[in-house]
Amino acid sequence: MKTETLVQRTDNVWHTLPPNDVIVRFESDERFGLTTAEAEQRLKRYGPNVITAKRGKSPLVRFLLQFHNPLLYILLIASVITFVLKDPVDAAIIFGAVLVNVILGYIQESRAEQAIEALARTMTMEATVVRDGKTIRIPAASLVPGDLVLLQSGDKVPADMRLIRTRDLQIAEAALTGESVPVTKQAQAALDPDTTLADRVTMAYASTLVTYGQGAGIVVATGDRTEVGRISQLIATAHDLQTPLTRKIAHFSRLLLFVILGLAAATFVIGAFRNQPLLDTLMAAIALAVSAIPEGLPAAVTVTLAIGVTRMARRRAIIRKLPAVETLGSTTVICSDKTGTLTQNQMTVQRIVAGGEQYETTGTGYQPEGDIRRNGTPIDLESHIALAECLRAGLLCNDSELIEKDGRWDVRGDPTEGALIVAAHKAGIPRHDRLPPRIDAIPFESQHQYMATLHDAGPDRERIVYMKGSVEAILSRCDTMLDAAGRLVPCDADAIHRATNKLAAEGLRMLAFARGCMPAGTTSLDHADVASGLTFLGLQGMVDPPRPEAITAVRACQQAGIRVKMITGDHALTAAAIAEQIGLNGGRRPSVLTGREIEQLSDEEFADAAERTTVFARVTPEQKLRLVEALQSRGHIVAMTGDGVNDAPALKQADIGVAMGLTGTDVAREAADMVLTDDNFATIEAAVEEGRGVFDNLTKIIVWTLPTNIGEGLVILAAVLIGSALPVLPVQILWINMVTVAALGLVLAAEGKEPGIMKRPPRKPDAPILDVTLIWRTLAVGVLIMIGAFALFEWEVQSGAGLAEARTVAVNVIVMIEVFYLLNCRSLTHSMFQIGVFSNRWLFVGLGIIILLQLGFTYLPWMNQILNSAPISLEAWGRILIVPIIGYILIELEKWLRRQYAGERHALAI
C-alpha cells in the first residue's frame, strides 16, 4: 500500500514537510485520527511498536559452547585414549576435570543472562491516542504509523511523531541528543532536510520526556524504525570485543596448545626411538599433555572475577559482564557523557548582573540552600533593589514548581525556570515578599524568544508586567534600566552586551529580564503590549554544574594515568567551560572538536584528533561510536560512561560500557557492562581501583599455577629421556592440579589491594600477563619442582620403596612446594610479613583443607586404590618439607634483591 511504501522510504524526512502534508500522506485526520479497523490492519502490517529483541542462545548451546576451548580438547582426547587403552577410572577422572570447568563456566554465564533479563524488565508504557474521534489510552506497543497521539507534561513520547499542534510544548531530549535543556517545540515550520536531530523542533522522538505544555502529533515511525530503534540497530552491529584478559588468555591457550602437542609428540617419538613399549610411551605422552594443562586455572579466574564483582557491588558498581571487572583495571581512556554524568543535570544560576553590578550565588542544584554574594560577601537584598527586581522577575515570570520528594529537591517543569526559582529562594524572596498574583501570560515561543506575565499589584494600581527571554529579544524592547540604587537610567546596551559575552565565555546560559506597566484593570496581555517601553532589570547566567565528586574522581583517574574525555551533544562553549571547571585539561580551557568538524575528517585524521582532543561537542550517536573505535584503533582500552539512549552504541562498542542506574535509560543499561547505582562518576574511580586489584590477584594466581604444570611436564619428560618409570601418573597430576587450585589458588583471589595501586600507570594494552621477571621466577620454581619430585622419587625407589609409595612422595613434594610458593605469591614484590601475615583469613582455611586432602590421599585406603597412592613414613615427610622451605627462602631473597635494585635506580633518578 501507499502508506507502507512511504514509511519504508521516507523515515527521516518528516521534519521537512508541513503538518497537512504528513496527515494526507498517512491517510489520517487531525481531529478524528485513524479508525479502529485501519489501526488493526496497520498493526498487522507494521508489527507492534517495540524494539526487536536480540535472540539469545539456548541453554543447551551455551552449555556446549563451554567445551569450545583448545585446552579442553586435549583433555577430552586424553580421556578417550585412556578409556580405550588403559583404565576407565583414570579416563573418568580426566573427563571429570573437564566437566567441572564446563559446569562452572555455564553457571556463571547463566547468572549473567539472568542479570541482563532482570535489568531489561520495564513497566508497560501507555499512550493517549485519538481513534474514531475518541480520546483513549492504549498500550504504546499498539501504536501504528498515522495514529494521532496527544502529549502533555510528564508523558514519555511513545513513538516518533511529526507534531501538528503545540501549546507551550517543551520536550527534554537529553536521553537522545545530550542537550541538557528542554527543547521548545512548534508545529507549523517545515525545516531544511539537513537539520540535525537536536534542532528538529517539529518532531517528537520516542523515549524523550515532555516537561511542559501540550501537543499532538502524527506517528511517523514505530519500533525499529524510530530513532531509538535505529540506535538499537547500531548497538546490534557494534561488535562484542574481547577484554584484554580474554585476549591474552586466548593467545596463551593457543600457544600452550602447540607447545603441549609438540612436547607430547616428542615424548612419544623419544620413547619409540628408545624401543620402550608403545602403550607406556603413549601413556607418558598423555601424562605430559595432562600435566602441562592448567585445568584449574579457568575456574580460578572465574572465581577471582566473581569476588571482584562482589567487592564492586559494595561500592555501588553493578557488573553485568564478568570480564569487565578486569577490563576496568586496564582502562587507559574514559569517554564520559557530560549531562548527568560529570554534571548534576540540575541547572543552577551562578552569576547575576543587575544595576551594573555582578553577583554570585552559592550552592548547586535544586537544593534551595545558599545565598547571594558580591565580591564574596553575602548581601542584604533590601539595599540592592535592582537585584531584588531581577530575581522577582525570574520567580514570577515562571510556570514551573520546586518540589521536595523523599528528601530530594526537583523541578516540575522546565529546568531553567527551576534554577530561577531556586535563585530567588536563596535571596529569601518567597519568604519576605507578598507576591502579586498572575492575571495573564504570553507563553514562550521560539520565534519570539521571550515569555511575559501580567500581575495585579493591588486595587487601583498599575498592573506589572515581568518578562524574560534572550538578551537580544529583551534589550530591543527596553529604553531604560535600573541602576544599583533602583533609579531609572537610560539603557546601556553596550555594557549589557559586554557583560553577556563575558559570562557566556564561561559557559553560562544567559537570560535577560525586564519590567513594564499596564493600566489598572487590564486583564489581558498581548505581544504589542511588550513591544517597547520596558525597563531592563538584569541578567541571570546559569549552568548545569559539575558534580563536586566528579572533579575529585577525574583528578584521581588522571593521577592513575587514565585520560578522561568529555563527549556531549551540548554546545561547544558550554562543554569547554564545564571541562575547565572539572579539570579535564589541567585547569586550562580545552580545545573542542564539534560534530560538524568530525564529519570533515578521514578515519586516520580523526584518530589523530581523538588522541589530542579532550572535549567533543554536538556529536551524533554515530560519531560517538566512531570516536570509541578511533581510540581503540590506537591501542587504547576505552571505558565509555553515559546515561542516554544516544550513548548506547558507544557503550556497546567500548571495552567497558558504564551506564547510570538512577537516571540511565533502559537502552543504555542493557548496552553497558557496568551500571552505577548512584549515578556517581566517583564510583568509577573505586571500580577502577577494584579492577586493578582483581588483575593483580589474577596475575598472582597465574604466576602460582604455571610452575606446577611446568614442573610436572619436566618430570615426565625427564623420565622418558632416561627411561625411568613415571614419577607421577596422569590421574595423580589431575589430582594435584585440581585440588591445589581449588584449595589454595582461590586464597589468592581473596587477597586485598596492595598500597599505591592508584599511583601507578595503567597496564599497557599489549603488555603480556607476565613480565620477564615473573617468567624467570615461574621457570625457576618449575625446575625446582622437577628436581625435588624426581630426586625424591628416585631416592625412595633406590631405598627399596614401591612405585606407589615413591609416587606418593613425589606428589606430596609437588603439593608442598605449591603451599610454600603460595606464601611467596601473596605479593609479587614484597614479603607476606610486610603485607600482613593474617591479612587474608582464607589463607589458613585453604592450608587446612590442603593438608587434610593430602593426608587422605596418602593414608585413606579407598583413595590409595583410586589414585594409586600409598602410605609413607614420617622420615619421608621430613625430606619432603626440606625442598619447599629452600624454595621459599630463595624466592624471598630474589624479591629482596629486586627491591634493593629498584630503590637504587630511583635514588639515582632523583
- Residues marked as catalytic: 337
**Inter-residue contact 604 to 577 (CB < 8 Å):** no
Write out the three cell numbers for 488.
Answer: 531609572
Name the one residue in this structure whose C-alpha cell is 547510570.
660
Name the residue among 260, 281, 149 with its Cα closest to residue 206: 149
Give the up-direction half-sphere exposure of residue 745: CA atoms within 13 A in the CB hemisphere: 29
Query: Which long-range CB contacts under 8 A does 724-727 form with residues at least 24 apart?
Result: 724/794, 725/797, 725/803, 726/283, 726/284, 726/287, 726/807, 727/789, 727/790, 727/793, 727/806, 727/807, 727/810
Helix-then-strand count for the chain, H and E = 33, 28
Q: What's the one-letter identity of residue 100?
A: V
Helix, strand, or coil (residue 190): coil
Q: Report the alpha-carbon distance of residue 804 to residue 868 in Å, rounded.
A: 6
In total, the chain counts a number of residues equal to 910
CB 338: neighbour CB atoms within 10 A? 27
CA distances from 804 to 288, 725, 732, 735, 883 (A): 19, 11, 11, 15, 21
Task: Write the DSSP symbol of residue 564.
Answer: E
Q: Report the alpha-carbon distance of residue 800 to residue 778 in Å, rounded.
A: 33
Which residues lie closer than 8 Å to 147 by C-beta, 6 or more apart? Answer: 28, 33, 34, 39, 129, 131, 159, 218, 219
Q: Report the relative pairing of strands 333-337 and 638-642 from DSSP bridges.
A: parallel
**Helix locations, 315-339, DSSP H:** 324-330
Q: Report the alpha-carbon distance of residue 389 to residue 483 in Å, rounded.
A: 11
3-state percent breakdown (helix, strand, coil) of the chain, nearest 5:
55, 15, 30
Write out the three cell numbers for 269.
Answer: 617419538
**Inter-residue contact 357 to 481 (CB < 8 Å):** no
**Inter-residue contact 598 to 626 (CB < 8 Å):** yes
Write out the three cell numbers for 900.
Answer: 634493593
Write out the three cell numbers for 170.
Answer: 517543551
